[in-house]
């Protein structure tokens, strides 16, 4: 980390608008949005349902593209780098924690966490070590050999968080990652994410509708109708 540029933008939205559908069905999910996320940042995104939070996250992950404006990650415009580079960036540098986990039911907890590492052809011993560390970090070591479908919602959520941590991605994008956790577990996950930004110098974007969770962010960005309505400082 010592040589990394602390001020480098990891994720940047410049004049970003996103429309879904057309004609009478057209929905404007983001409107001319500007936002910069740097190394070490923990940014919380709040706002009512339908305000554009998930859209913001999906564009940042390169899962979908802006209608106008530019979304760049690690200095590269996601819409123009091409499929191969984008796929590689998404596999190695960006981790997404989805609201509904996206675990594979027929794999165990540890196989789910290992999956993104296997596709990167990391050495077996390193995969095993990262998987064990990540499951331990979310207090799920005792469920490592359980199939995802045998886990509770909260346990699945913790496995999804472990899967993101194990990638050691520089950018972690999380959609309501504590929505299924009780208060204590939720706090421990948020502290873990916060520590990760501090220790590894990565950045976390946390979508949440819980003000207590959002307060872990250095910045709390409130979206309303696809626009930034407010930016506040976190308090934790």
Bridge partners, residue 33, by sequence: 16
What is the pattern of x (binds Mg ion, CB under 5 A) and - over residues 50-89?
---xx-----------------------------------
Q: How far is the CB of 54 from Mg ion (least distance, A)?
A: 3
d(CA 138, CA 15): 37
Residue 177 binding ligand ADP, by CB under 6 A: no
Instruction: In angstroms, give the least distance from the CB of 202 to ligand ADP.
Output: 23
Q: How far apart are CA 182 and CA 110, in angstroms?
A: 23
CB under 5 to 8 A by kind: which of Mg ion, ligand ADP, none does 75 bind? none
Does 44 bind ligand ADP (CB under 6 A)? Our answer is no
Q: Is 60 in the site for ligand ADP (CB under 6 A)?
A: no
**Is 65 strand, coil or helix?**
coil
Asked if 47 is part of the footprint of ligand ADP (rule: CB under 6 A), the reply reads yes
CA distance 86 to 173: 16
| 217 is a site residue for ligand ADP (CB under 6 A) | no
Q: Enter the tokens of residue 30.
A: 């983001």
Cβ of residue 21: shortest distance to ligand ADP, in angstroms?
A: 5
196 binds, options Mg ion, ligand ADP, none, Cβ within 5 to 8 A by partner type: none
Longest dimension (CA), the chain: 55
* C-alpha distances in Å from residue 50, one per residue of 26, 196, 202, 210, 219: 14, 29, 28, 15, 21
SS3 38: strand
- Give yes or no for a contact between 57 and 233, defined as CB atoms under 8 angstroms apart: no
Distance CA 39, CA 37 (A): 7
The residue (of 51 and 197) whose beta carbon lies closer to Mg ion is: 51
- # chain residues binding Mg ion, by CB under 5 A: 2
H or E element: which one contains 33? strand 27-38
Contact region for ligand ADP (CB under 6 A) — 21-29, 36-44, 70-78, 186-194?
A: 21-29
Select the residue interacting with ligand ADP from 27, 87, 211, 229 (CB under 6 A).
27
Judged by the rule CB under 5 A, the positions of this chain that interact with Mg ion are: 53-54
The residues that touch ligand ADP, with contacts defined as CB under 6 A, are: 20-21, 27, 29, 47, 49-55
């Amino acid at each position: 980390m010592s040589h990394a540029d602390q001020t480098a933008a990891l994720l940047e939205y410049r004049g970003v608008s996103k429309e879904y559908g057309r004609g009478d069905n057209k929905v404007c999910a983001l409107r001319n949005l500007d936002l910069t996320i740097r190394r070490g940042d923990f940014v919380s995104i709040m706002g009512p349902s339908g305000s554009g939070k998930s859209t913001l996250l999906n564009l940042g992950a390169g899962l979908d593209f802006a209608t106008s404006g530019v979304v760049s990650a690690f200095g590269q415009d996601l819409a123009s780098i091409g499929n191969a580079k984008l796929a590689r960036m998404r596999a190695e540098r960006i981790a997404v924690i989805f609201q509904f986990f996206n675990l594979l039911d027929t794999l165990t907890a540890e196989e789910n966490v290992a999956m993104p590492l296997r596709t990167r052809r990391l050495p077996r011993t390193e995969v095993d070590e990262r998987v064990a560390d990540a499951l331990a970090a979310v207090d799920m070591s005792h469920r490592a050999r359980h199939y995802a479908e045998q886990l509770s919602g909260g346990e699945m959520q913790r496995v999804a968080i472990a899967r993101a941590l194990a990638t050691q991605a520089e950018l972690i994008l999380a959609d309501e990652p504590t929505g299924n956790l009780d208060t204590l577990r939720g706090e421990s996950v948020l502290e873990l994410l916060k520590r990760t930004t501090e220790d590894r110098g990565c950045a976390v974007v946390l979508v949440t509708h819980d003000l207590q969770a959002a307060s872990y962010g250095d910045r709390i960005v409130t979206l309303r109708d696809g626009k930034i309505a407010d930016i506040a400082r976190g308090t934790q």
